[in-house]
Amino acid sequence: MKTEISIEFFPPQTPEGIDKLRATRARLAELKPTFFSVTYGAGGGTRERTIAVVKEIAAEGFDAAPHLSCIGSTRAGIREILGEYKAAGIRRTVALRGDLPSGMAEAGEFRYANELVEFIRAETGDWFSIEVAAYPEWHPQARSPRDDLKAFARKVKAGANSAITQYFYNADAYFNFVDEARALGVDVPIVPGIMPIAGFTKLARFSDACGTDIPRWMRKKFESYGDDVDSIRAFGLDVVTGLCEHLLKGGAPGLHFYCMNQAALTTEICRRLG
């Protein structure tokens, strides 16, 4: 049985980046993903670029899932974007709380992602299949794991169809999170987010910021390779492929790749998974 995968892009800032993403997308399309998702900057900071990439993906015949973040947004603004996506035949979206842009004091008309999910459902009925975010190692701003789990359950009950997790490297965190969500009555698919490893320094910095734990054994091994890029890449491929195998054997409903607009690592991991 074919494993369902999805792949995430961010909207490029330059004409060269746009061309590079087209080439990346052409390679990743060979994996026949269920959909490509496209991120949305803090407070809608990449709005026009996100819309352009989403429409281009849809025009190429692929299922595109634009991210929508509610922090810093107005109901009128979200209504307008939903209308534009609907007119373009887009049937899926990723509804997120998002981050407040630096220097902005007001959250806007929505405070939490469940309010955005409710709004999308109220405005568009069942037109969109709605994905929401999940945090197996807890959202860094959550007061407690229990609070975070309840917030996740609220998003699902507001009308989400499926969830995609923050990336992680500890499979037990994912399985424990799924068990606890099921105990709260959450029955939608919870798809693990997978971050291929291209280099270690940037990954460590990013993981510390977003609350993802890099297990000590992994961290030590990466550090031992110093500037040996080939060894870091080879070890990263082994670790992430092993993680994916473990997740799929344990019943994960699919895999969502944070490809960072690169094709090589995601393609190689999928090749190894068969």
Q: Which helix (H) or strand (E) holds 96?
A: strand 92-96
pLDDT of 72 over the 90 cut = no
User: Once rounded to an integer, what is the mean pLDDT over residues 253-257?
Assistant: 98
Q: What is the pLDDT of residue 197?
A: 97
Q: What is the pLDDT of residue 103?
A: 57
Q: Where are the domains positioned within the chain?
A: 5-273
User: Once rounded to an integer, what is the mean pLDDT over residues 37-50?
Assistant: 82
* 60 annotated active-site: no
Average pLDDT, the chain: 93
Q: What is the pLDDT of residue 107?
A: 59
142-166 residue pLDDT tens: 899 999 999 999 999 999 999 999 9
203-238 residue pLDDT tens: 999 999 889 999 999 999 999 999 999 999 999 999
How do beta strands 190-194 and 162-167 pair? parallel
pLDDT of 105 over the 60 cut = no
Q: What is the pLDDT of residue 270?
A: 98
Which pLDDT band, with edges at 50, 70 and 90, does 252 fall under?
very high
Instruction: Indicate which residue of 4, 8, 30, 137 is catalytic.
Output: 8
Q: What is the pLDDT of residue 109?
A: 82
Q: What is the pLDDT of residue 50?
A: 93
Q: What is the pLDDT of residue 240?
A: 98
User: Residue 86, Cβ neighbours under 10 Å: how many?
Assistant: 14
d(CA 158, CA 14): 37
DSSP 127: S
Q: Which two tokens mark 167?
A: 């990336």
Q: What is the pLDDT of residue 198?
A: 94
**Among candidate residues 163, 67, 171, 153, the one with its CA nearest the CA of residue 114:** 153
190-201 residue pLDDT tens: 999 999 999 999
| Residues forming beta bridges with residue 191, ordered by sequence position | 164
Residue 234 has, within 13 A of its CA and on its CB side, a CA count of 5
Architecture of domain 5-273: Alpha-Beta Barrel (3.20)
Q: What is the pLDDT of residue 141?
A: 86
Which pLDDT band, with edges at 50, 70 and 90, does 41 fall under?
confident
| Residues forming beta bridges with residue 270, ordered by sequence position | none
Q: What is the pLDDT of residue 102?
A: 58
**Among candidate residues 106, 105, 107, the one with its CA nearest the CA of residue 97:** 107
